[in-house]
Structure 1
Amino acid sequence: MPWGSEMRVLDGIRIVDFTRHMAGPFATLVLADHGADVIKVESLEGDSSRTGGADKLGDQSALFLLWNRGKRSLSIDMRTAEGKALVLDLIREADVLVENYRPGVADRIGIGYAAMAELNPRLVYCSVSAFGPQAALRDAPGTDPVVQATSGIVSLTGERGRDGVLVGAPIADFTGAMYAVQAILLALLARERTGRGQHVEVPMLFGVLSMLTTRLGTYWASGEDPERFGSAHAVHVPYGAYRTADGQAMAGTYGGESWPKFARAIGLPELLEDPRFATGALRREHRDALAAIIEPVFAQRTTEDWRARFAAEGALFAPVLTLSEILSHPQVEEAGLVQTLQHPTAGAIPQIGPPISMSETPPAIDRHPPLLGEHTDEVLREAGCDDATIARLRAAGVVR
């Protein structure tokens, strides 16, 4: 089949997905958007995120619906011999296995890498964990806030003189998800060249650390832990969130002619002649004095007034938007990023569509987040089970 809009880049790739909660499921969601057949293997009780969280869309967990579109659900008891055998049959024919148990758990339940590589030498096996397989934190439980705290990112986030705070989005989980997607695609590419699968490890801790380049630069250059600066930039001054007459806006400088543009936009060109602010290093040194001048000025005008003034100068500026404001923004609406899926029990559910655009093999949302065990019969038939066998397995409590 020629490449074209009727085909997605991962069509024909089958993924057996043992992940729960957020980091693993979001990774496999991205792969499903690009055509992979993701079989979500769940216990008879299901992924705990089906019942977790405080918010629901219809009768379903809002979080589960956001992390699991595009997949098929197989609800099966792997503690039974038949259940485990059926799952191994799936893995034998799969391209990818993804799990986010703590290190060692997959081995204990009989789906560890060594055994699965022997079963299927072409299998790409991806392990997502909080801290990785190294001994120091190998067995420690870890969620996004715990990983944020351990990684140093909490110590870098928040106002000066106050305690560190969590980043407002689950950045450790989503960084882990994105690195898992990269790792799986890289391993599939390697398999095209070698014919062999491999084990890829994705510790969420290391993913967050890899993001801290600007703060690592400060630390390695000075030997001192970087400060927290709240909404202000650590390096470029002025650059931060300022309270306006009716809200808040982000404005700043980033080198070159950006400082003169900023000074003219706020109506204080005389700042360009002040020796305290002549260079980036001097502005960092006198950041508090400069903030004391700038902040009262921003409070005198509305956000829209400032937007127009900064636009006239070609200076860096953005209003601080709420979720409701950005979701209804023309930039988002014209891109069609917010999409709707029909769910069999929750009705119409909103989704953030694939953020990547591809001209020849575009991604698509074409399957609602599955009900628990919704595709059990379908998957088992594909594995060679007839209706009588499926009925017997259900009656025996092996599948749901």
Structure 2
Amino acid sequence: MTKALEGVTILDFSHLLQGPFATQLLGDMGADVIKIERAGAGDMFRGMTFFAKWVGGSQSPNFLAWNRNKRSIALNLKSRKVHAIIMAMARTADVVVQNFRPGVLARLGYGYEDFRAVNPRIIYCSGSGYGEDGPYVDRPGQDMLIQGLAGLIANTGRGDQPPVPAGAGLADQIGAMNMVYGILSALYARERTGRGQKIEVNLLAGMLAHLNQEYVAVLNLGEDFVRPRSGIGHPGMQAPFGIYEAADGGHVSIAMSPFRTLYEVLEAPHLAPYDDLATLFDKRDEVWEKVNAETRRFGTQDLLARLLGADIWCAEVKDIRRAAEDPQVIHMGMIASYEHPKAGTVRVVAPAVRMSETPASIDRPAPLVGQHGREILAHYGVPAAEIEALEAAGDMTVEEA
């Protein structure tokens, strides 16, 4: 075995971010991920992009980010012939992943019970916005909506400005991690019991779980704990926690730090009267303003050197392009690339988990729509004439590399 999940086959019906990120992580570890897309258009993320720009002129960076190490087959899921083929594939598959709205795949004959009927060992992982029942079951479950509903957005931003969402799809990505967590747990359980099971993951539950620290504080410290957001950008932390300006326009984040150490490093003894836990919380906006006035006396690198020299918890605030060039990021080898048949060289973030005996790797680029359909069906014993008939009927599409 060269990779941890070699030999595990995943039928991946998922689209957009949550499900595709989960299956990409499993693919990085060696699982054979068969991405089952819609005939014609494929995954919805193929038609969505950032900055109104396309990689190589035609490929979505959103799709390229979450779909490496997969083979694609594009099918008409409403076709009964296609249904029979997928159920035949399921007899030897290990995992099914989907993140359509609750009930959509089941109505087409691809629910958990349908797969379990042909393979009792199947693990069926279903992702949704709010779960598979309850008052919000029919609502659209999108990342920013979940951030707002769970409380993350209200916790973020300065107190004199509107709340702001995180600048990344945190709810979707946490949902993906929960999918992986559930799938790996179910695979381990199956080794002991021989039985598969259904896994339900939803974005709201995942976001709530990852805000547990904030919930424990608010729910247990009394009603008066809940205060408006502050100038430091976090409602519960005391100064000097926050983002501070430098003389050259850069910014530095400062986390936990003995306040006395900070004002000594900044050569600002007049800040000493604030050095009390209650004062640093009650007057945190005032402290932020005064500390910010001091940090603006130094250039970014000088400020960092002073703070790090005193073991103050701090870091430079970088945009993504500069972060990709950070010496620690380079040292870790976290920016990798793959060759795509239409986008050319695609630079990506490498797998984040390192394993000494079964390392993760990028072995396949994100696929074209249905690119591997013929080879997948041939592997499962579908005759060439039947494959041709599926294509002729529009029940399968193949985009050539």
TM-score, with length taken from structure 1: 0.93
CA positional deviation for 1:226: 4.5
1:398 paired residue number: 395
The 3 A distance-change label for structure 1 pair 329 and 252 is: closer
The 3 A distance-change label for structure 1 pair 289 and 111 is: same
2:20 paired residue number: 25
Which one-letter code corresponds to 1:263 in the other structure?
Y
CA positional deviation for 1:286: 2.0
2:202 paired residue number: 203
SS in 2 for 1:183: helix
Distance in 2 (alpha carbons) for counterparts of 1:84 and 1:293: 66
Distance in 2 (alpha carbons) for counterparts of 1:236 and 1:94: 52
2:376 paired residue number: 379
SS in 2 for 1:155: helix
1:338 to 335, 339, 357: 335
The 3 A distance-change label for structure 1 pair 253 and 337 is: closer
Distance in 1 (alpha carbons) for counterparts of 2:62 and 2:347: 12
> Is 1:14 the equivalent of 2:9?
yes
2:124 paired residue number: 125
CA positional deviation for 1:288: 2.8
User: Alpha-carbon deviations, 1:244-263, whole Å to 9, x = none?
Assistant: 101243343526xx333222
The 3 A distance-change label for structure 1 pair 112 and 336 is: same
Larger mean Cα displacement after TM superposition, 66-75 or 380-389: 380-389
- How do residues 31-42 of structure 1 correspond to structure 2 at under 5 angstroms? 31-42=26-37
Which one-letter code corresponds to 1:49 in the other structure?
F
Distance in 2 (alpha carbons) for counterparts of 1:65 and 1:231: 36
TM-score, with length taken from structure 2: 0.93
2:249 to 226, 247, 251: 247
| Runs of 4+ residues over 6 Å off in structure 1 | none
User: Alpha-carbon deviations, 1:186-223, whole Å to 9, x = none?
Assistant: 11111111111111111101111112133213311123
8 Å CA contact retained: 1:239, 1:250: no
The 3 A distance-change label for structure 1 pair 236 and 214 is: farther
SS in 1 for 2:153: coil
2:288 paired residue number: 291
- How do residues 154-303 of structure 1 correspond to structure 2 at under 5 angstroms? 154-220=153-219, 221-223=221-223, 225-229=226-230, 231-233=232-234, 234-254=236-256, 258-269=258-269, 271-272=271-272, 274=273, 277-303=274-300
8 Å CA contact retained: 2:156, 2:164: yes
Distance in 1 (alpha carbons) for counterparts of 2:324 and 2:218: 37
2:352 paired residue number: 355
CA positional deviation for 1:112: 0.8
The 3 A distance-change label for structure 1 pair 98 and 65 is: same
CA positional deviation for 1:305: 1.1
Extract unaligned runs of 5+ from structure 2.
none
Distance in 1 (alpha carbons) for counterparts of 2:157 and 2:240: 17
Distance in 2 (alpha carbons) for counterparts of 1:389 and 1:183: 36
Extract unaligned runs of 5+ from structure 1.
2-6
User: Alpha-carbon deviations, 1:122-166, whole Å to 9, x = none?
Assistant: 111101111112311111112111111211211111210332111
8 Å CA contact retained: 1:265, 1:315: no
1:315 paired residue number: 312
8 Å CA contact retained: 2:73, 2:376: yes
8 Å CA contact retained: 2:160, 2:231: no
Distance in 2 (alpha carbons) for counterparts of 1:127 and 1:164: 31
8 Å CA contact retained: 1:17, 1:40: yes
1:4 paired residue number: none
Distance in 1 (alpha carbons) for counterparts of 2:85 and 2:383: 13
Which one-letter code corresponds to 2:171 in the other structure?
A
SS in 2 for 1:65: helix
Distance in 1 (alpha carbons) for counterparts of 2:23 and 2:312: 40
8 Å CA contact retained: 2:82, 2:395: yes
Larger mean Cα displacement after TM superposition, 71-80 or 209-218: 209-218
The 3 A distance-change label for structure 1 pair 210 and 227 is: farther
CA positional deviation for 1:231: 4.5
8 Å CA contact retained: 2:158, 2:233: no
